[in-house]
Each structure stands twice: as structure tokens, then as C-alpha cells.
Amino acid sequence: QASRSAGDPLILPPGINSQSFKDFIGKAIDIVGEDNVTVINDAQQLGKQSYLDPSKVHDMFYIADEDYFVSSAVVCPRNVQDVQTILRLSNEFEVPLWPFSVGRNVGYGGAAPRVPGSVGLDMGKNMNKILEVNVDGAYALVEPGVTFAGLHDYLVQNNLRDKLWVDVPDLGGGSVLGNTIERGVGYTPYGDHWMMHCGLEVVLPDGTLLRTGMGALPDPSADPSLPADQQPANKCWQHFNYGFGPYNDGIFTQSSLGIVVKMGIWLMPNPGGYQSYLITIPRDEDLHQAVEIIRPLRAAMVLQNVPTIRHILLDAAVVGDKKAYSNSDKPLTDVELDAIAKKLNLGRWNFYGALYGPPPVRDALWQVVKASFSAIPGAKFYFPEDIPESKVLQIRHDTMQGIPSMDELKWVDWLPNGAHLFFSPIAKVTGDDAMAQYKVTRQRCEEYGFDFIGDFVVGMREIHHIVCIVFDRKDPKQRRNAHEMIRTLIDDAAKRGWGEYRTHLALMDQIADTYNFNNNAQMKLNETIKNALDPKGVLAPGKNGIWPKTYDGKAWKV
Ligand code: ADP
């Protein structure tokens, strides 16, 4: 550190010397103004630790060293043209950029870049407008900085909640656009966010502006002398996803091929009635039967939303830390888990779902759901009004109707200095697959000294199995164990034909390597596209394991 010269960041971008960095920053200031550029040159700038006030410069839930995944500077474009100009600048200097929208991607790396010393592009600070909410079309058009909570508040403040709902993830503070292009999920019938997006506006690595789908067809009234981003868009842009020709949108998800500056998202028409419920499932092994019951109901949309089967400890952790239940510093045993379930009046597994529509619709669906789950001996059925003391049901009651909450933050405090990492394999909706994944992951957790905390999030034909690896970030041994365990789990999973849907920065290469069918054919395609669109490799190098030809990916192994 002593050799750093004045004005240097903690970490320079790779291959960039002090003088070029200074020149780059000077030019960035000319573009966006001094207020919108911060150089990260002091370890104190890495102090933030809370989701409520997230870091824009490093990974708060670090598993590598705290000062590894760190940006050299953060630049906040004020508008689309700034984004285009910054991209051209970064091509000129060959400085890597790492775009993020809000930076609340916790458990996956937050706002931090894959390549240390990249310049973070904070898309959300200034570009945070809800550009349109269309009631008849039931959609919104948003900029990167619009959060789920912000969009929900907008609906409430404009008396639109009786018409439209927004789907929200467990925590409401993230970016609608950022979460959707990372293919995140929520829990209403519109839970698959990517499925419900419609139309993107993207800046390509060379600064070109593109509208996808119907957006590629200009609006006849558009004034061609205006900058492209300000031209009125095609009237069907948010109505039809596919337009004409190859469908491009997918390549901008979990991607380093463009910076998304606008996105259409479908909102759910208020269904005219709502009832959430909890079904407690008593025994560990009942998971098998529960998943078998769920499969046909979900595929037929009798289960209308994205329901979850939560392990007892996920619910327990929302209402208390480990100390509140046990003095043990070992993984809790089955006997201890049963005692916690009894104390909280919950099952070893707890199924949270909801019914949507006017009473006759809900009643008919509930009859089927209840009759189906009654096959599990000892299953119990609750509405929120039956058990007002059940904190988690009250939270899920909100979440499953698109009312954002921050209450699920609490499970991270299961351990002191709690941080978390997600292991997120995809499973078929079968009892065998769910049990097998539960067994493998719980066994590894216990081997490495962690409690199994997790849930099964049920999509239309698959389950996102989310294992929440909670560790004490101030304890280097726990951090190492968490890191080693997730590496082992990725291998365990791949051997059984399971793959993850999303991951932390530190694991991207390993997981990308597991998707290697036919001699890495998919990675070769991804690299070909990357090198064609971004020949200098300036945009998010290494994201999701895709390294441009200007980088030696192996040299960046974590
Ligand atoms: P959250 O919505 O949870 O706050 P982030 O803003 O941290 O999410 O974004 C998560 C990840 O998604 C980023 O690290 C980045 O890789 C990608 N991303 C987010 N916003 C954009 C964007 N506007 N353009 C391209 N990629 C983005």
C-alpha cells in the first residue's frame, strides 16, 4: 500500500497505471460531474455492512478477503447518454466497468465487481424514474434505480393498488430491473420476473443504443433528430416480447453484453380477492410426499403463485437468533429441531401459499389444496387470522400479494456478525429430487459446522432450492468453511446432474465450468458473442464465468 501514489485507489484497474487512472477519472468527471464520481482510496470506504444502507463499492458479505472484490471508483451516470459516453471512454482507456443498479444483490456479491479495481457504474443513483405505469396494459416501464418498494409505493400513492400489484422478492429494497435481469424470483403468480419482463433498452459495449422486441420498430411520430433514448417507443413495446427475428433479450440476463437502461415489467391485475395460508408439515421425511402433492397442482396452476416450502430453521431464524433457541455451537440435531418446531407451533417443513380471486374461485381452489395436503398425516392448515402470533405467516401474507417487506433480513442474524451466501441448485418437482438435494446439502452443512437453513421455491416445472449459508463474517475459519463448503456442494451437485441458477462472484467460474455439455459448446458460443460485441473486454469481464479474449480467466481464479 505504501507504494500507492497520491490519488490512487486501493486497487487500480488491471493494466492501468496511476496516470491513466487519473486521466480516466478526470474525463469521467467531465462527463457526469464531480458529485457523481468517487475514487475508493481509503479502507474506511469499505465500512458499510447493512442491507438497509448497502455498500456500492465492495461485497459486504465477503467470503474472499474483505478488500478483494472492491471497485477502484464508482461513477454514477445521470442519463442514458452519459452511459454511452462512459462506455466509449472505458473502451478508449480499456478500463473495465461493472454496472449495478442498486447493489442489494446480497449473498451473490452485492455491488462488487468480479475483477478487483473495475470501475463500478452505479446505474441507480440518478436513473431511478418510473417512466410509465399503464393501467389498461398492466405494465410499468422503469429505470435501473427503481426498487420494488418504490414501485409498490408509487401504486399506493397513486391509488392504483386496487388495479395493479407488483411482484416482490423476499426483501423489497433491490432494483426491479437488476433483479429481473439476474433472473430473480418473487412469490405472487408473477414470481418469475424474467418471464414477466417485456422490452429492454440496452447500451451495447460500444455505446450503441438498442431497443429489443417491438421496440426495434420505431414509433411513426418519433422525431429522428432526438437522441435515440428520448424517442417515443413503439406502442407495443411492453405488450409483445418477441418482435421479429431472433429473440435477443435473453443474452442480456446474467450477462456482460450490455447495460440495461430501461425495462418493461408486467404488473399483475388486482385479482379481486386474496387469501394466504400456511400448511405445517410435521416430519422431516414428509418433504417427499409434500413435493409429490405440489407437482401436479402447480403445473395445472391450482397453486396459482410461487409457493415455498421452508425448513423450520428458516422460520425460526426470522424470529430469533441461534442463542434464543440453544446454547449449542454445533449444528442443531433432529431432536432440537423438533423442539423448536413445537415451541413455534410449526412443522419441520412449512408450506406458504396463497389463493387469488373472488370468494367462489378461492373456495374452489382451497378445497382442492386442502384435500390434497390432508393426505400428509398431521398436516395442519392456517390462515393468518387464525394465528396472529405467527410472524412469518404475517410476512408472507404481505409478500405473496406484492407488499414489500424487510423482515426477512432477520435470519441473517442467526449467528453474530451474520453474513450469508446462497447455494441455489435447481431441482425437478419430485419427492426424490427434493429429498436427495436436502440430504446432500444438509449433510455437507453439518460436516462444515453449519445449520441447514433453506427453502424450496416452486416454479412452474422446477424448484429453486435455496440453501442460505449463514456464517460469522468476522470469523475467518467460518468464512473459509463457507467458501470451501459451497465449492464442494457445486461439485456434489454437478456429479448428480444438478446445476445452480445464479451465484456469488467467487463461484462464477466453477459453476460455469459445470455447464460444459459437448466440449463446452455453450461457453464457446458465449465467448464468441462476447468478443464480437466487446472486443476490448471492458464490460463486466468474468461475469458468470465468461472471460473476454483480453483476459486470462485462469489468472483471476479466487
Ligand atoms: P439488486 O437489484 O439486488 O440491488 P444489483 O443492482 O446489485 O441488484 O444488480 C445485480 C447484478 O445485476 C449486478 O451485479 C450486475 O451484474 C447486474 N446488473 C444490475 N443492473 C444492471 C444493468 N442496469 N445493466 C447490466 N447489468 C446489471
pLDDT digits 0-9 by tens, 433-471? 999 999 999 999 999 999 999 999 999 999 999 999 999
User: Best mutation site among 74, 87, 182 for ligand 1, i.e. most ligand atoms within 8 A of its Cβ?
Assistant: 182
Chain mean position to CA 192 = 11
Query: Residue whose CA is closest, atom 5 of ligand 1?
Result: 103
Whether 4 shows a pLDDT value over 80: the answer reads: no
User: Best mutation site among 48, 86, 101, 422 for ligand 1, i.e. most ligand atoms within 8 A of its Cβ?
Assistant: 101
pLDDT at 20: 97
Quote the ligand 1 centre to 114 CA distance (angstroms).
12
Index of the ligand 1 atom closest to the CA of residue 111: 7
Q: Which residue has the cell 396459482?
A: 304
Task: Please name which of 545, 472, 461, 534 lies closest in space to residue 502, comparing C-alpha atoms.
Answer: 545
pLDDT at 342: 97
Lowest-pLDDT range of 6-10, 123-127, 225-229, 456-460: 6-10
Quote the ligand 1 centre to 224 CA distance (angstroms).
30
C-alpha cell of 284?
422431516
More confident call, 258 vs 48 = 258
Q: Which residue has the cell 442519463?
A: 79
Amino acid 441 reads T
- Quick one: which H or E segment has residue 260? strand 259-266
Count of Cβ atoms closer than 10 Å to residue 453 Cβ: 24
Query: Residue whose CA is closest, atom 12 of ligand 1?
Result: 178
Q: Which residue has the cell 403468480?
A: 189
User: Best mutation site among 61, 87, 105 for ligand 1, i.e. most ligand atoms within 8 A of its Cβ?
Assistant: 105
User: Best mutation site among 60, 100, 126, 544 for ligand 1, i.e. most ligand atoms within 8 A of its Cβ?
Assistant: 100
How much of the chain, in percent, has pLDDT values that exceed 90? 95
CA distance 90 to 86: 6
Index of the ligand 1 atom closest to the CA of residue 173: 4
CA distance 473 to 417: 6
Whether 2 shows a pLDDT value over 50: the answer reads: no
Q: Does this complex have an ipTM over 0.90?
A: yes
CA distance 304 to 354: 7
pLDDT at 34: 98
Query: Residue whose CA is closest, atom 27 of ligand 1?
Result: 100
With beta carbons less than 8 A apart as the criterion, state whether 456 and 463 touch: yes
Query: Residue whose CA is closest, atom 21 of ligand 1?
Result: 100
Index of the ligand 1 atom closest to the CA of residue 181: 12
Task: Please name which of 229, 208, 207 lies closest in space to residue 218, comparing C-alpha atoms.
Answer: 229
Mean pLDDT in residue range 264-291? 98
CA distance 390 to 157: 29
With beta carbons less than 8 A apart as the criterion, state whether 237 and 215 touch: yes
**For residue range 475-530, what is the model confidence (pLDDT) as tens digits?**
999 999 999 999 999 999 999 999 999 999 999 999 999 999 999 999 999 999 99
pLDDT at 3: 66
DSSP designation for 303: S
Amino acid 384 reads P
With beta carbons less than 8 A apart as the criterion, state whether 46 and 57 touch: yes
Task: Please name which of 310, 299, 397 lies closest in space to residue 346, comparing C-alpha atoms.
Answer: 310
Residues with CB under 6 A from ligand 1: 99-105, 111, 123, 144, 174-175, 177-179, 181-182, 259-260, 540, 543
Query: Residue whose CA is closest, atom 23 of ligand 1?
Result: 260
Query: Residue whose CA is closest, atom 17 of ligand 1?
Result: 100
CA distance 169 to 367: 28
Amino acid 291 reads V
Residue positions annotated with a catalytic role: 108, 501-502
Whether 164 shows a pLDDT value over 90: the answer reads: yes
pLDDT at 66: 82
Quote the ligand 1 centre to 439 CA distance (angstroms).
32
DSSP designation for 553: G
Quote the ligand 1 centre to 110 CA distance (angstroms).
9
Label the pairing between strands 349-356 and 308-311: antiparallel
Phi/psi of residue 545, nearest 5 degrees: 80, 5
Quote the ligand 1 centre to 463 CA distance (angstroms).
23
Phi/psi of residue 505, nearest 5 degrees: -45, -40
Task: Please name which of 274, 429, 302 lies closest in space to residue 367, comparing C-alpha atoms.
Answer: 302
pLDDT at 1: 44
Phi-psi region of 470 (alpha: psi -120 to 50; beta: other; left: phi over 0): beta
Quick one: pLDDT band at residue 363, thresholds 50, 70, 90? very high
Quote the ligand 1 centre to 36 CA distance (angstroms).
18
**For residue range 102-136, what is the model confidence (pLDDT) as tens digits?**
999 988 999 999 999 999 999 999 999 999 999 99
On the CB side of 410, CA atoms within 13 Å amount to 17
Task: Please name which of 248, 238, 207, 247 lies closest in space to residue 83, comparing C-alpha atoms.
Answer: 207
User: What are the residues facing 448 on neighbouring strands?
Assistant: none
Could you tell me where the DSSP H helices lie in 374-499? Answer: 391-399, 431-447, 476-495
160 Cβ partners below 8 Å, 6+ apart?
A: 133, 135, 154
Phi/psi of residue 183, nearest 5 degrees: 65, 45
Query: Residue whose CA is closest, atom 7 of ligand 1?
Result: 103
Query: Residue whose CA is closest, atom 2 of ligand 1?
Result: 175
* CB-count exposure of residue 154 (10 Å: 0-12, 13-18, 19+): middle
C-alpha cell of 543?
461475469
**For residue range 148-159, what is the model confidence (pLDDT) as tens digits?**
999 999 999 999
- Quick one: which H or E segment has residue 533? helix 517-533
* CB-count exposure of residue 321 (10 Å: 0-12, 13-18, 19+): middle
CA dihedral sign, ordered 102, 540, 24, 211? negative
Index of the ligand 1 atom closest to the CA of residue 124: 6
Chain mean position to CA 63 = 18
Quote the ligand 1 centre to 349 CA distance (angstroms).
32
How does DSSP assign 106-167, residue by residue? TTTTTT--SSTTPEEEE-TTT---EEEEETTTTEEEE-TT-BHHHHHHHHHHTT-TTTEE--
Quote the ligand 1 centre to 474 CA distance (angstroms).
26
Phi-psi region of 201 (alpha: psi -120 to 50; beta: other; left: phi over 0): beta
Mean pLDDT in residue range 532-548? 98
